[in-house]
Structures are given as C-alpha cells and as structure tokens.
Amino acid sequence: IVVIWSSSDNPVSVSRLPSGDIPLHIIAASNQSPSALFYPHTLINTDAVFSLDHDSQLTPDELDFAFIVWRTFPDRIVGYPARTHHWDQAKGSWTYSSQWSNSYSLVLTGAGMYHRYWHHVYAFAASPELKTTVEQTNNCHDLLLNFLVAQFTQHPPIKLTQRKNFKDPTSEGKRVWTDPGHFQQRSVCLNTFTSVLGSFPLRFSSVRLDPVLFKDKVSITRKKYRQIEKIGS
C-alpha cells in the first residue's frame, strides 16, 4: 500500500496507522498537484495499480473482483465510478456529465485499477500543456489519464457492477464533488485536452461486468462475491 500524501499538513507517522502483513509506505508529494498520484514511484512494484481516493468506500470483494477483471483487460482502466460526456451543440463544446445512463466513456481513478505503465505515459509522454492544465485547475488528473489510455489503446474503459456511489457521504470532500463549479471545470478540461491533443479520443461503452451468478436467485453459498450484492446502487 502506497499513500501519496499531498496535503499541506505534515504526513502522519506510519506508527499511527494500522499494522498488518502488507507493507505500507507514505510518500510526501513534492507539490500538491493531483498529478503526483500518477508518478511512477519505485515503491510500486506490481503491474496492477488500484487507485483509491481518500474518501472512497469499497469492500475487499470489490477490489478482488476488479483485479480478476483487470487481468483479462490489462490495457484498460477497470473500475466502479463511471462518467460520460456529450457534445453541447449550443455551446459548440464537450460537456462532462455524471448523469447515470446506458453508456459511459470514463472510469474515474478514485476507485479504479490500471497497469502501472500508464504512470510512465502520464509522467513522461504527456504534453507539459496537459499537466499544466491539471496543476492550474487542481483538477482533472483522472480525466487526463482516461484521455491518454484511450488515445493509446483506442478502447473504452470497463465499468464494474451496479454501484453508482463510491464516496463516503460524510467526507469533507463532498463539498468538492457536489459543487456545480467542479463539473464546469471538468468540462473545460475536456475541451482543453482535446485542443492540445488535436483529437477527442474517448470512446463510449455500454458494457458492465458483474460477478458470475450476480443477482441470480440461487443459494448465496454458490456465489464467490457475496458482499457485492448487498451494496446499494
């Protein structure tokens, strides 16, 4: 477990964190840019990276299922919070949306898995103009990673299960991701990224992957991921 500490406060001591068999490291980011989350730190020694925001809530079953799916699609972003975009004819620009629909074009890295290779692409292959946009807005790093993956692979991300909400409703971060200005800013990012790249690489998908026997009316003992079905949508 690698914690990227980008707060202006001093990092918490590792001795104050829960102990266990899994090594836990805290890295104090050199700056408070969200891009610090996608730096290829040497402590990341697994191919799979499960990115989790500080206010995200997922069960161990969901993490395990994400890894099972990712092993089949290691070039994709695989995760739970899906978003979409649409073309606003009146404004003549792209618009970011969190409205629930039958299709999506983005899977947020607040609760998503991807190959560590994309950290190298983000850090060393992405145009400085793209990362400058992230730093100036203190936003949109997850959108940029989606853009880069889609541009390289020509494939959409993959959404898992029926979960809609993955944030802790009691978190102070709620003030950010429910602010209308937050969504407006992310729409601006979509258009800025498109201008810099010279194309709009995001692709729609209507695929959602669920565990075997998900919601089937059979004995719960026959199901591997029993906790996932108990999660509200």
* Vertex 37 angle, CA 148 and 231, to 5°: 90
Terminal C-alpha separation, the chain: 28
pTM score, whole prediction: 0.91
How far apart, in whole angstroms, are the C-alpha atoms of residue 155 and residue 215?
28
Query: In the chain, what is the greatest distance between 2 CA atoms, to the nearest angstrom?
Result: 55
List the chain pLDDT tens, one digit each, 233 residues.
999 988 778 888 877 877 788 888 888 887 778 999 999 999 999 999 999 998 888 999 999 999 999 999 999 999 999 999 999 999 999 999 998 899 999 999 999 999 999 999 999 999 999 999 999 999 999 999 999 999 999 999 999 998 878 887 777 655 565 677 888 999 999 999 999 999 999 999 999 999 988 878 888 888 888 888 877 55
Written as six digits, the tokens of 121 are 């692409």
What's the Cα-to-Cα distance from 29 to each of 60, 126, 229, rounded to whole Å? 27, 19, 37
Structure tokens at 190: 């979509």
CA–CA dist 225, 68 (Å, integer): 12
* CB contact set of 53 (below 8 Å; sequence gap of 6+): 110, 111, 167, 173
